């Protein structure tokens, strides 16, 4: 009697263990399908690039507002902003970007002189190929993702601010609340799901284009093959990946 009981008990134990194992394999297999995480190999097929068409921008500031909401950008700091250039008849350059143009622009900056040329230039992180911000980070918290987006590891950053100093474009800031460096991520959380970055999505004039530079048929490559473009501060050797169509020499 005792023996049989024991045998039954062992049997029961074996079956239930097997059951749990098989069941959990199923369960895990299922969740694996549910979560959309691209594998490292998948990511290597991408090289995210960006185009700013300055000839199309109307300075409405939609992108700045969209970015602020999407990324909870703290008050007084910007992951993207829009600059306005006004060049007068006597060749004087007026530049401004009131509150990063989050409310757009209203009055002319040049009040007295006659403006002969004016245009808007949206700015954001260039996700440089040779990014000085990554080079100088003492703990390796600034890094390049396999799909070539420059990101900050918020769990690892010590908040020294060296990267803020090293970026020639002024796109980084220290998030005072979190004590870590912060900047444009190209809406990494969105592009992973195939969604456009918030700024691209919100631009009513299609002045912002993003896409995969490794894909020869992507829109971004088509535009880059058709149009002439410039880079910001190319002399600094940062090799930026944000291409500016219709870039004026006054823009730095």
Partner 1 sequence: MDTLSNYIFPNEFHITWTVMIVLYPYITGMVAGAFIVSSFYHVFNMEKLKTVARFALVSSLAFLLFATVPLLNHLGRPERAFYIMMTPNFSSAMSGFGFIYSFYMIIVVLEIWLSYRVEIIDKYNKSNGIVKFIYLVVLLGNANDNENTRRFDKRLVIALASFGIPVACILHGYVGFLFGSIKANPWWSTPLMFIIFIFSAIVSGLAVLIFLYQFVHWMRKRSIDQDCLDLMAKWLWGFMIIAVTLELMEVLSISYENTERWAILRQLIDGKLKLSYVYLQIGLFSIVPFIMLTITSLSKMKNTKVKNLTIWIASVMLLLQVLFMRWNVVIGGQLVSKSMRGFTEYFPGLWDKEGLIVSFLIILVPFVLLYLFDKVFPFFGEKSH
Among the residues of the chain, which ranges form H helices?
A: 2-34, 40-43, 62-71, 132-136, 162-166, 188-191, 198-202, 219-226
Residue 241: half-sphere exposure toward Cβ, Cα within 13 Å: 23
- Does 187 contact ligand SF4 by CB under 6 A? no
**Does residue number 159 form part of the binding site for ligand SF4 (CB under 6 A)?**
yes
For residue 120, is it left (φ>0), alpha (ψ between -120 and 50) or beta? beta
The distance of Cα 243 from the centroid of its chain, to the nearest Å, equals 14
Interface segment toward partner 1; rule CB under 8 A; list 44-52, 170-178, 185-193, 221-229: 170-178
- Nearest distance from residue 11's CB to ligand SF4, in Å? 58
Residues 186-245 that bind partner 1 (CB under 8 A): 236-237
Positions 44 through 63 that interact with partner 1 (CB under 8 A): none
Residue 92 binds partner 1 (CB under 8 A) = yes
How far, in Å, are 52, 98, 208, 212, 224 from residue 216 at the CA level?
19, 38, 19, 8, 11
The answer to the question of residue 174 lying near partner 1 (CB under 8 A) is: yes
Is residue 181 part of the contact set for ligand SF4 (CB under 6 A)? yes
Q: Specify the residue, 105 or 122, whose C-beta has the smaller distance to ligand SF4.
A: 122
Residue 167 CB contacts under 8 Å (≥ 6 apart), including other chains = 125, 131, 132, 133, 183
Using CB under 6 A, which of 52, 87, 121, 133 touches ligand SF4?
133
Query: Which residue in 132, 187, 200, 209 binds ligand SF4 (CB under 6 A)?
Result: 132
Alpha helices, DSSP H, located in 156-211: 162-166, 188-191, 198-202
Contacting partner 1 (CB under 8 A), which of 125, 150, 157, 187?
157
Nearest to 60 by CA among 95, 14, 106: 106
What gap in Å lies between CA 169 and CA 158, rounded to an integer?
21
What are the structure tokens assigned to 164, written together? 């803020």
Q: Does 91 bind partner 1 (CB under 8 A)?
A: yes
Residue 161 within binding range of partner 1, rule CB under 8 A: yes
Q: Could you list the residues that contact partner 1 (CB under 8 A)?
A: 76-78, 81, 83, 87, 91-97, 99-100, 109-110, 123, 132, 134-141, 156-162, 164-176, 178-181, 236-237, 250, 252
Under the rule (CB under 6 A), what is the footprint of ligand SF4?
125-128, 131-133, 136-137, 139, 141-142, 150, 152, 157-163, 167, 169, 171-172, 180-181, 183, 238
């Amino acid at each position: 009697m005792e023996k049989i009981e024991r045998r039954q008990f062992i049997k029961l134990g074996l079956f239930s263990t097997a059951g749990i194992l098989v069941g959990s394999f199923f369960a895990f297999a299922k969740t694996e399908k549910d979560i959309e995480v691209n594998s490292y190999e998948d990511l290597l097929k991408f090289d995210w690039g960006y185009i700013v068409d300055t000839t199309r921008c109307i300075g409405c500031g939609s992108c700045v507002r969209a970015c602020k909401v999407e990324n909870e950008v703290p008050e007084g700091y910007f992951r993207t902003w829009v600059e306005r250039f006004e060049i007068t008849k006597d060749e004087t350059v007026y530049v401004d970007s009131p509150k990063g143009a989050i409310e757009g622009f209203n009055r002319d900056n040049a009040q007295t002189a006659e403006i002969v040329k004016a245009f808007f230039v949206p700015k954001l992180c260039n996700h440089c190929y040779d990014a000085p911000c990554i080079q100088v980070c003492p703990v390796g918290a600034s890094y390049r993702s396999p799909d070539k987006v420059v990101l900050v590891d918020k769990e690892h950053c010590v908040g020294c601010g060296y990267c803020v100093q090293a970026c020639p474009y002024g796109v980084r800031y220290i998030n005072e609340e979190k004590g870590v460096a912060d900047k444009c991520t190209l809406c990494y959380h969105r592009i992973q799901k195939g969604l456009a970055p918030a700024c691209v999505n919100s631009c009513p004039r299609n002045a912002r284009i993003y896409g995969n530079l490794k894909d020869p048929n992507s829109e971004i490559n088509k535009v880059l093959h058709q149009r002439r473009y410039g880079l910001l501060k190319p002399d600094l050797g940062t090799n930026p990946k944000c291409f500016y169509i219709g870039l004026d020499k006054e823009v730095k």
